[in-house]
A and B are shown apart, each in its own frame.
Chain A
């Protein structure tokens, strides 16, 4: 065969290159009807080209990657291409499987993890630019540039917080932790990941479309008058939402149906429980925000007036719909971090997780209550007056189950035998930061204090303490804990500890003063502020840049340890959950024989003589250990 012949043959197979070609073709095909209409003299808004072109691109991209091949073959009654199937299972061994449409949950986990860690770095750089503007009174950037940078930072970080633990660590570890070979719907799992790259590309390109200046909350009518970049934001958010819903169904079915023998619900590792609750929230809430954003999109594109007061629409309706998702979304970010933290604590305290059942109940309670608190974002919005009181009560009530996370963590370390490896340091950092975030949250749940504090830097400080202090600290705890498992190598403890202390001190130095700035009346989302607040803002900016610099240590440690770290062995932390009972990294099929579980996941201490799984679990069919 000639060289061009093989290249053609390769293009006929699903691949990244074919995905890109498919995407470009889809872009043209999607926009084509409008191009024709424009040629015929119809006036078409630029937003129309962007919307249809993007939808075409998304479908073409997925088709090129091979998403629909087996489904189409099934629908048409044709045989499925076995070679493609084998490739999709990730058996290709080499690194190229990370750049293919691959159904192995471990490959998808790594894809999510690396994609969103990269996004974390990009959004972090944007945060440093925001702090550059705010370092001194006066303006460096034009206001619309600043607004775009601030809005893009916020939106990207929301995606990072939503997806890194769930998509990355969740995909990788949930099947391993429950003793399954894969997720329930491996192909949907891959679909949920591959929806993400075009969406992220679109929002990263939003400056080309004039940027967007509405913040990630995108309140109408402002969002209606904003530039085309706003639409990039809307389309991206909707796509990420679809991806989350698909992935949520997959997690729920996986945990419900794929648990191995003996893995009862009350033996589930706490991290799995946290994802179960999280994905239930995602499934119920995400379609609401997707609707709100779609209505916003239609208001812009085809002249519906859902949120336009002049035509009978209502801007406050958008706020209700938006926060009905976006407050539960905070728990979508935080609960997996609770899970990761409570997963790490028993291993490094060498003691069973304290009050496991109560912790499980608290997750469920958080999941239920999270739907009843959304309007605390709207105490000054002009919503119905009486509604303030029940929402204040429900919001403050959610601190009861959230408090149980601290109770459980403290109860576990009490009388434990603590080992301060890097993951455990992140747990302690989490307890401190999330405690500050939780306590200051009460100030915002209480209506009288919220009246003065809302929309100020107090809120900025509060949610960074909950999302960074909660989700990011939990992510680092989980990442450093499971790194040996998914890479097979140990991370440098020395660099890990340097990164922890550097990041934690810089984070607190940067955000603690913002509470005070907020009390002084410094508003959110402004490009400039009164001169007398300059000194403290400069301090916060320098500290924020230090947070950014600390990430260089992490990136170096992450890459270097993955490439050349000492081999970890199966179970370097001597943990008892199932993922540590297989090789590092685990084999493609996870378990040669599915394990049989005979006790809870945290049986540390004097009575825990036997392993968490029966000895037969890893023996061959003939009964001999392999």
Chain B
């Protein structure tokens, strides 16, 4: 009985989850991987969640004691059930970890990039340099469909370069350079935010990223004054 309830609810739950999009905006190839992983984890979670909840509620109703002093049967364990549970959950998490590794390699495995950008974080603003193009900007502008390497640096404390629409973030650590790869797939304007508490102006440390067609991007580059100094 309890098993049947679990099976039915699990199937219904999984059916409801498969194919949905969880992230509000999926604007990069990396975000596609992330969203797919979110759905996959949810699909695996549903039967687990339903198993425990049904087990708990079914027992609460079915095994509630009357007001007598009855005691349950003296069962101390069940060897095969215990082994099955351990092996089952072990296989499940190894599967999840393998799937996660594949996703991670998809997002970060490829070290090539079409365009280099440096995101320079300081309390409490962002600045973006395009070393190959010799320009700098307060707002990030990217061409759609190109793989971009964003080298994140910080001048003072730890910040984090986060673009929810791209599904990725990377800390900016003073004293070292960290890398982030992103391939925008949708043109539009998205938010950039600092995701690591960095002091008084943390809340307001936001900027925007505009993704445009390559031709538009070239036109935008041409309009920027050449970068002076370093």
Contacts and interface: CB of A to CB of B under 8 A. Distances in A.
Interface of A: 143-144, 147, 213-215, 219-222, 225-226, 309-310, 313-316, 349-358, 380-382, 385, 388-389, 392-393, 396-397, 399-400, 403-404, 406-407, 410-411, 413-420, 428, 431-432, 435-436, 439, 442-443, 445-449, 451-452, 454-456, 519-521, 523-528, 574, 603-608
A526 B203 contact: yes
A406 B52 contact: yes
A448 B173 contact: no
B151 to A, nearest CB: 11
Contacts of B194: 523
Interface string B61-100: 0011100011111111110011001100110011011011
A413 B56 contact: yes
Contacts of A448: 33-34, 37, 100, 103-104, 106-107
A315 B45 contact: no
B49 interface: yes
A407 B69 CA distance: 25
B73 A392 contact: no
5 contacts: A352-B74, A382-B171, A392-B97, A414-B63, A449-B41
Given A309-B176, A396-B93, A447 B104 contact: yes
B74 A527 contact: no
Interface stretch (B126-134, B158-166, B215-223): B158-166
Contacts of B204: 528
Given A225-B157, A525-B202, A393 B72 contact: no
A410 B195 CA distance: 39
B135 interface: no
Contacts of A399: 89, 93
A381 B171 contact: yes
B78 A411 contact: yes
Residue of B65, B100, B103, B173 with highest tally of chain A CB at under 10 A: B100
Nearest to A378: B171
A611 to B, nearest CB: 14
Contacts of B86: 358, 400, 404
Contact of B100 (A403, A447, A520, A607): A447
Interface centre among A418, A452, A519, A525 (most CB of B within 10 A): A452
A222 B55 contact: no
B173 A316 contact: yes
A225 B33 CA distance: 38
B53 interface: yes
Please name the 7 residue pairs, one residue from A and one from B, whose CB atoms are nearest each other, closest first. Answer: A309-B175, A605-B74, A351-B72, A521-B164, A382-B178, A448-B103, A417-B65
B26 to A, nearest CB: 10
Nearest to B158: A219
Contact of A605 (B72, B108, B164): B72
A186 B49 CA distance: 44
B174 A351 contact: no
B157 A350 contact: no
Given A410-B55, A451-B167, A221 B160 contact: no
Contacts of A608: 71, 74
Contact of B56 (A225, A388, A431): A431
A418 B31 CA distance: 47
Nearest to A311: B175
Contacts of A456: 164, 195
Given A350-B65, A418-B65, A449-B38, 6 more contacts: A315-B175, A351-B74, A396-B100, A413-B60, A432-B53, A432-B56
A355 B79 CA distance: 8
A576 B129 CA distance: 70
Contacts of B93: 396-397, 399-400, 442
B48 interface: yes
A396 B75 CA distance: 30
B229 interface: no
A392 B104 contact: yes
Contacts of A524: 195, 197
A452 B65 contact: no
A519 B174 contact: no
B191 A521 contact: yes
Given A435-B53, A452-B167, A452-B169, A519 B24 contact: yes
A445 B45 CA distance: 14
Contacts of B82: 355, 358, 407
B75 A351 contact: yes
B162 to A, nearest CB: 7
B209 interface: no
Given A452-B168, A521-B191, A606-B74, A222 B49 contact: no
A350 B69 CA distance: 9
Contacts of B107: 448, 451
A315 B101 contact: no
B59 interface: yes
A444 to B, nearest CB: 10
A284 B174 CA distance: 30
B197 A222 contact: yes
B169 A442 contact: no
B138 to A, nearest CB: 20
Nearest to A435: B52
Contacts of A523: 162, 193-195
Contact of B71 (A219, A222, A439, A605): A605
A381 B172 CA distance: 8
A523 B159 CA distance: 12
Given A309-B176, A407-B85, A452-B34, A351 B156 contact: no
Given A222-B198, A604-B72, A310 B175 contact: yes
Contact of A451 (B60, B78, B168, B197): B168
A358 B81 CA distance: 11
Q: Which of B175, B176, B178, B197 has the most CB of A within 10 A?
A: B197
Nearest to B108: A385
Interface in B135-188: 152, 156-158, 160, 162, 164, 167-171, 173-176, 178
B20 interface: no
Contact of A351 (B37, B45, B56, B71): B71
A413 B52 contact: no
A528 B73 contact: no
B2 to A, nearest CB: 9
Given A147-B200, A213-B200, A606 B71 contact: yes
B22 interface: yes
B199 interface: yes
A43 B134 CA distance: 47
A357 B77 contact: yes
A93 B70 CA distance: 39
Contacts of A356: 76-77
A608 B203 CA distance: 61
B63 A415 contact: yes
A351 B173 contact: no
A421 to B, nearest CB: 11
A443 B38 CA distance: 7
Contact of B70 (A350, A358, A451): A350
B116 interface: no
B199 A225 contact: yes
Contacts of A225: 156-157, 199
B66 to A, nearest CB: 8
Given A414-B59, A418-B64, A452-B23, A400 B90 contact: yes
A494 B197 CA distance: 44
Contacts of B31: 452
A326 B157 CA distance: 21
Nearest to A346: B72
A410 B23 CA distance: 34
A416 B197 contact: no
Contacts of B191: 521
A484 to B, nearest CB: 18
